[in-house]
Structure 1
Amino acid sequence: MASSAPLGADISEPEITNISIHGFWLLFEGEEHFLSFDDFPWFRDAPVASIFNLEQPHPGHLYWPDLDVDLGIATIKSPENYPLIAG
């Protein structure tokens, strides 16, 4: 049976699902990822509202405008492959 939903309608927007003292969880394209503050220090002292303010300007690419943090999903999945340039 064919779906009447528009193409791509089953893909949800990226979402922050939880924040702890160690980092936060991001639900993106059906997968949950943990971004630790050790690996992603730009978020450590950020206001909660700024972490939740998340955009996806391009497929596979996330942007936190309040923090001017721009990350690709490859960096989120494997931060050890992308050494920090600024901290």
Structure 2
Amino acid sequence: MTTSEMHGTVTSPAEISNISPNGLWLLCGDREYFLPYDQFPWFKDAPIKHIFNLEEPHPGHLYWPDLDVDLSLEIIQHPERFPRLASA
């Protein structure tokens, strides 16, 4: 039995794929997400090296330790459900 058979499908770690003046792109699993700065303001003026320092302590839970930002994929997929959080 291989490692992937024992533990399920192997996925790539979450990573930032691009940063633009309007937001950033996040690759997580087999999907890409756009995080606009107006909904995710913590990243707008952050140093690039801090944005790229991304951890995924648990599947679907993302953490930027240099920025002390924790986001779930649910928040990223549906920021309108978390208006207080997205306007912080």
Question: Residues 8-42 of structure 1: CA distance to partner in whole angstroms, max 9, x if unpaired?
Answer: 46300001000000000000010000000000001
The 5 A counterparts of 1:1-87 are 4-6=2-4, 7-8=7-8, 10-85=10-85, 87=88
Overall identity of the aligned pairs, in %: 54
Distance in 2 of aligned mates of 1:22 and 1:79: 16
TM-score (norm 1): 0.88
Distance in 2 of aligned mates of 1:45 and 1:15: 19
- Computed over aligned residues only, the root mean square deviation of the Cα atoms, in angstroms, reads 1.6
Question: Residues 53-77 of structure 1: CA distance to partner in whole angstroms, max 9, x if unpaired?
Answer: 0001112100000000000000000
Unaligned runs of 5+ in 2: none
After superposing the two structures, state which structure 1 stretch, 66-75 or 4-13, moved more. Answer: 4-13
Distance in 1 of aligned mates of 2:55 and 2:78: 20
Higher helix share: 2
Runs of 4+ in structure 1 over 4 Å off: none
